[in-house]
């Protein structure tokens, strides 16, 4: 059975910058399951320029107009985290499907509120944990399910935040305010730990974390202004999996001159190693290796992987939209939902509250 294209409305699209225009729009334009129907921006001139550039049917200047537009089935929220609660709530109240970027809310309470509303309305709502759609991560999950590792004993993670180092772009200044819900803990660390849990198909029983700010200041690239760095640029994490396995992780702000991304999973039968030259799991560029028994560590081929010329960021988002299209039209449950977002928010909350002492999740 052929379904008509899902008509998409995106909140806050700028013609020249922003995550919506650099990742979501290019991904959606490649998929026949979707139609770019409407977009909004607080300035109608900007909205019209964006609509003309990207091929949207309609341009509006308010969220209210977009979520109630008769030609919109799915509302996409890609703006900064503090706005998510209001915008997602408006879309759900209007009876529209919702795709919200991660983090879902600035805290666990807000995420639970949005998830509860989606459940009350009976509406499919997806969270932008796009690494779950990455071919390499999904292949790791398949190998682990097939018993490549045997019993999972432990996993070790090293990551770099890229941002939160010696300097950062002005556009990311808001991530220096913990209350905005977009720090290194909330974004690169959370994406990476979520991808690991997805690959393992496990949850945590307990976690502990130590959050430290080692750099007192950070420099804005454009203005050279030096401002306080009050969020953690060092994260030390330990967790116990439901299977009994142990996960340890160290995330650092900025980039390292040595290792920037390393995930090693050790099992009773084999080992897997995932590396990348960039800082965390969301940016891709992966190299997957593994070995069993007396084998030497060797590269593992990933079926359906991205082509070398593909943009990994757009590719991850595109694959996630493919999963969501199936969920909306065929009743499958392949894409990450608001329930998954609440679980990840609960994990982040437990780390924030732990003070280095193990806490149940």
List per-block mean pLDDT (blocks of 10 residues) for the chain, which spans 361 residues. Answer: 89 91 95 97 94 97 97 97 97 98 97 98 96 96 98 97 95 94 96 97 97 96 96 97 98 94 98 91 86 96 84 90 93 93 97 83 85
pLDDT for position 279: 80
Q: What pLDDT sits at residue 311?
A: 82
**pLDDT at residue 211, as a whole number:** 96
Dihedral angle computed from the Cα positions of residues 311, 312, 314 and 320, in that order, rounded to the nearest 10 degrees? 150
pLDDT of residue 1: 55
Task: Compute the distance between CA of residue 81 and CA of residue 101 in angstroms, rounded to an integer.
Answer: 8
272, 142 contact by CB (below 8 A):
no
Report all structural domains of the chain as residue ranges with CATH numbers, in order of start.
Answer: 6-131+319-336 (3.40.50.720), 134-307+342-360 (3.30.360.10)
> What's the predicted TM-score (pTM) here?
0.95
What pLDDT is attached to residue 355?
A: 76
């Amino acid at each position: 059975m052929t379904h008509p294209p899902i008509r998409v409305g995106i909140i806050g699209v700028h013609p020249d910058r922003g995550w919506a225009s650099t990742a979501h729009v290019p991904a959606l334009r490649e998929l026949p399951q979707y139609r770019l129907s409407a977009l909004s921006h607080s300035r109608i001139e900007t909205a019209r320029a964006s609509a003309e550039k990207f091929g949207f049917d309609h341009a509006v200047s308010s969220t209210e107009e977009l979520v109630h537009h008769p030609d919109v089935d799915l509302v996409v929220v890609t703006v900064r985290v503090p706005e998510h609660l209001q915008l997602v709530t408006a879309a759900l109240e209007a009876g529209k499907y919702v795709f919200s970027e991660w983090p879902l809310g600035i805290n666990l309470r807000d995420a639970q509120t949005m998830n509860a509303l989606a459940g009350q309305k009976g509406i499919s709502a997806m969270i932008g944990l796009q690494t779950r759609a990455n071919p390499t991560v999904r292949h790791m999950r398949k190998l682990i399910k097939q018993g490549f590792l045997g019993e999972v004993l432990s996993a070790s993670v090293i990551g770099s935040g890229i941002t939160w180092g010696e300097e950062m772009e002005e556009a990311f200044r808001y991530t220096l305010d913990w209350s905005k819900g977009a720090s290194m803990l909330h974004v690169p660390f959370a994406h990476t730990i979520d991808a690991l849990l997805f690959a393992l198909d496990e949850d945590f029983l307990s976690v502990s974390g130590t959050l430290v700010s080692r750099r007192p200041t950070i420099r804005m690239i454009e203005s050279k202004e030096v401002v306080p760095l009050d969020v953690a640029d060092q994260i030390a994490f330990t967790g116990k999996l439901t299977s009994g396995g142990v996960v340890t992780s160290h995330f650092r702000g900025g980039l390292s001159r040595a290792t920037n991304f390393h995930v090693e999973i050790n099992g009773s039968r084999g080992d897997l190693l995932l590396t990348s030259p960039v800082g965390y799991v969301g940016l891709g560029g992966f190299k997957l290796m593994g070995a069993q028994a007396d084998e030497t560590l060797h590269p593992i081929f990933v079926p359906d992987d991205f082509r070398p010329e593909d943009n990994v960021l757009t590719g991850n988002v595109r694959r996630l939209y493919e999963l969501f299209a199936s969920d909306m039209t065929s009743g499958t449950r392949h894409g990450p939902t608001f329930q998954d977002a609440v679980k990840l928010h609960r994990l982040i909350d437990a780390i924030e509250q732990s003070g280095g002492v193990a806490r149940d999740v």
